[in-house]
Chain A
Amino acid sequence: MTTSILKPTRRGFLAAGAALGGAAMLGGRPASAAVDWKKFSGQTINVNLVKSPRSETLIKYLSEFETLTGIKVNAEATPEQQQRQKTVIELSTGKPSFDVVHLSYHVQKRQFEKGNWLADISGFLKDPSLTDASLTEKDFAEAGLLFAKDSKGVLRSLPFSVDYWIVYWNKELFEKKGLSYPTTFEELVTAAEKITDPSTNTYGFVARGLKNANTPVWTSLMLGYGAAPINAQGKVDTLSKEAVEAAKLYQRLMTKAAPPGVSGFNWAEAQSAFLQGKIGMWFDGVGFAPPIEDPQKSRVVGKTGYGVMPKGPAAQAAGTFGDGLGVVEASTKKEAAYLFCQWAISHDMGARLLQAGAGVPFRQSILADTKVREGVKMPGAWLDAVAGSGKISKLALPVVIPVTEFRDIYGVALTNMIGGADPATELKNATAQFEPVLARSEG
């Protein structure tokens, strides 16, 4: 018996109808049906996470993954510093106790690469029986892929959550002075200084001043001068005119427009100060936004603007940080571990992350989804700042092994600058200290 489109049989018509209905139910992603989620049912994997709102979201919905795959997950979430120590120590032994690791790209990327601690998952991503068709490299923000791939272009992890640095600004204080949101660094400084009035305990600007925590503030400013602390040849480039100018800008903002004691401020102190409504602008990551709109914690609910980083003399760039999920090279359950990573960065989980204000997914399709955007609790301006920052995203910290030493050494120099030290001299001293550290790490 032969059939044709022009003369369909009853059976053929029903089959075609069922196929179309099925495709519609799957949201136009029929290839996802190919993923065999139950293939590794019965296996148990161990997952090591950084304790944060992001990992809490994963743990909250973990049972969904276990039901979907039949894989049992033992998830452990420890505070950031302790998690970093634990993972590095365990991975360096060659026999870590976990199959999936949550890593902070901006601190650990190069270290993990050099240790060969993460499995190559490029093959998994291309395998339709393991990867949903909607998950493609193109869907990740550019910074995410830069983070996730090693120096040879091999995919070593899946980008999970991105943190762009934006400017939180107090609209009320700006209005009082007849100011609008700055579009350039020069306007930023002018606005900060105009708002500052120590007699009323009002200050125009706040950012991190504490050693180590403060370094990304300077490197983010440096991006606006079109410079980076490590050049394309992998050499330290912190004595350049641009680096010194960025340091001078940092010094000016932190000494002329920031509250007293700012040299000891980490993000928490800066956030507390901003929440009191006496700070014009606070420069930090998008992830710190939720308390601002919480009436229990904030005096600036509904008064806060969320701005993309103003343009510097050479470029407009949003300092970018991020974290990802990788499958451990030493794991004997790599496929099951990969399925977990894929589920964690899936559309549904990314939407939950964004809507709860717990993080911003690297996947562009999630940010672009109108339904997802409608469910976001944060103001539209915040989401616009996130999307706007994504377009001008640049890695804010160098991809080197001794990131912590880099942050510490230059952090001390920046703290000294707040105390009045000369930026050029401080950078010279810091560079002299850091160069041998970098040489040792790559040697």
Chain B
Amino acid sequence: MASVSIENSVADAKQKRSRPSRLAPNYWPFVLPALLVVSAVIVFPWVFTLWMSVNSWTLGQPRTFIGFANYVRLAQDMRFWESLWHTATYTALSVVLPLFFGTLAALIFDAKFPFRGLLRGVFVMPMMATPVAVALVWTMMFHPQLGVLNYLLSFLGIGPQEWIYNQFTVIPSLVLVETWQWTPLVMLIVLGGLAAVPREPYESAEIDGANAWQKFRYLTMPMIAPFLMIAVIIRSIDAIKSFDIIYAMTQGGPGTASETINIYLYNTAFAYYDIGYGSAMAVVFFFIIIALSFVLLMVRQRANWSDMETK
């Protein structure tokens, strides 16, 4: 009897093992369309970019295989390193500032006061505007002689500033535009988080004598942390790939003071037509983004949704 059951279970196991291999060919036709699309729009461009990056190829001229020479050139290219630094600075500021002001705005709009709905609507309006249109309007506002910003500053007794027309103030000025446009997005995300926060812990804290700061620091912050993390991820992705606002406002100038990797890559590939070198830059940029995504995912794990739910 025992031997029969063992034989049966062995047969079952064999059947289970053999099932996937027997059925797999039937599944392929269903997977194929998606596989083809992914191959065409993701895998092929990626492999082609890799291939181009090991070639010297300028449009209108013959292509030659040069191995890793483009990568070596990249390592020695000061303009590339500067653009990397500009990208890092721009991204960091474009994440931190909207996060700070967005959280502050969410806390304000979470409170009840007259015309709150109307003001929320007004507050999110910048987010709806087209980036290039925003860039053109801000460019006019930043004009050192004709811009409204210097006119407004004159009322405060502050002298005219050069904004995007100065190599030292150009990145902060661009970040100002980015912050103005994307703070509402962070506000909406955090506002969603605040709406889900339970009231009971605050009542307990009040009984224990906690002040407003302590309630924010030890209750609100931990409970909205997952939402803040989502805002950080979205803002980081947006900021690192930012192109339109920078290109429309400064084209990477004055000089190369606001040239991010995106702008440098674009110029290399589509203004200098140096496709090989531009591809090498794209490959390096791709790995930087992969690394950043990995770090963000790890941090997100730490923000720990499940812990909050079980507590």
Contact = CB atoms under 8 A, between A and B. Distances in A.
A114 interface: yes
Interface in A61-98: 81, 85, 88-89, 91-92
Nearest to B58: A441
B167 A211 contact: no
Given A88-B273, A402-B272, A419-B167, A260 B162 contact: yes
B165 A263 contact: yes
Interface string B257-276: 00000000001001111000
A245 B162 CA distance: 28
Contacts of A89: 59
Given A261-B165, A263-B254, A276-B145, 14 more contacts: A81-B271, A88-B59, A88-B273, A89-B59, A92-B60, A211-B252, A211-B255, A261-B163, A263-B165, A263-B253, A265-B165, A404-B271, A412-B255, A416-B255
A261 B159 CA distance: 13
A91 B143 CA distance: 39
Contacts of A402: 272
B146 interface: yes
Interface of A: 81, 85, 88-89, 91-92, 111, 114-115, 117, 201, 209-212, 259-265, 269, 272-273, 276, 278, 401-402, 404-405, 408, 411-412, 415-416, 418-419, 440-441
Contacts of A259: 144-145
B254 A209 contact: yes
B250 interface: yes
A405 B274 CA distance: 10
Contact of B272 (A114, A405, A419): A405
Residue from A88, A264, A265, A404 whose CB has the most chain B CB atoms within 10 Å: A264
A404 B253 CA distance: 15
A46 to B, nearest CB: 20
25 contacts: A91-B60, A92-B60, A111-B60, A201-B145, A211-B254, A259-B144, A260-B144, A260-B162, A263-B253, A263-B255, A264-B162, A264-B165, A264-B166, A264-B250, A269-B143, A269-B165, A272-B146, A276-B146, A405-B272, A408-B272, A415-B253, A419-B167, A440-B56, A441-B58, A441-B61
Contacts of B251: 210-212
10 closest pairs, A vs B, by CB?
A261-B165, A264-B165, A261-B144, A115-B60, A415-B255, A261-B162, A263-B254, A92-B59, A211-B253, A412-B255
A92 B62 CA distance: 10
A109 to B, nearest CB: 13
Contact of A278 (B145, B166, B252, B267): B145
A244 to B, nearest CB: 19
Given A262-B165, A415-B254, A88 B60 contact: yes
B160 interface: yes
B171 to A, nearest CB: 13
A260 to B, nearest CB: 5
Nearest to B57: A92
B164 interface: yes
B166 A263 contact: yes
Interface in B103-156: 143-146
Interface of B: 56, 58-61, 143-146, 160, 162-167, 170, 250-256, 267, 270-273
Contacts of B143: 261, 269, 272
Nearest to A92: B59
A210 B253 contact: yes
Contacts of A408: 267, 271-272
Nearest to A201: B145
A42 B16 CA distance: 71
Contacts of B273: 88
A412 B144 CA distance: 21
Contacts of A441: 58, 61
Contacts of A85: 270-271
B59 A261 contact: no
Contacts of A401: 60
A255 to B, nearest CB: 13
A85 B251 CA distance: 16
A419 B145 CA distance: 18
B170 A264 contact: yes
B206 to A, nearest CB: 53
Contact of A114 (B61, B160, B166, B170): B61
B254 A210 contact: yes
B172 to A, nearest CB: 14
B166 A273 contact: no
A92 B43 CA distance: 24
A37 B270 CA distance: 39
Contacts of A276: 145-146
Contacts of B59: 88-89, 92
B164 A264 contact: yes
B36 to A, nearest CB: 24
Contacts of A263: 165-167, 253-255
Nearest to A443: B61
A19 to B, nearest CB: 52
Contacts of B166: 261, 263-264
Nearest to A81: B271
A418 to B, nearest CB: 8
Contacts of A265: 165
A260 B160 contact: yes
B251 to A, nearest CB: 7
A261 B251 CA distance: 15
A81 B143 CA distance: 24
Contacts of B58: 440-441
B272 A404 contact: yes
Contacts of B60: 88, 91-92, 111, 114-115, 117, 401
A400 to B, nearest CB: 12
A402 B61 CA distance: 12
A209 B144 CA distance: 14
Nearest to A275: B146
Contacts of A264: 162, 164-166, 170, 250, 253-254
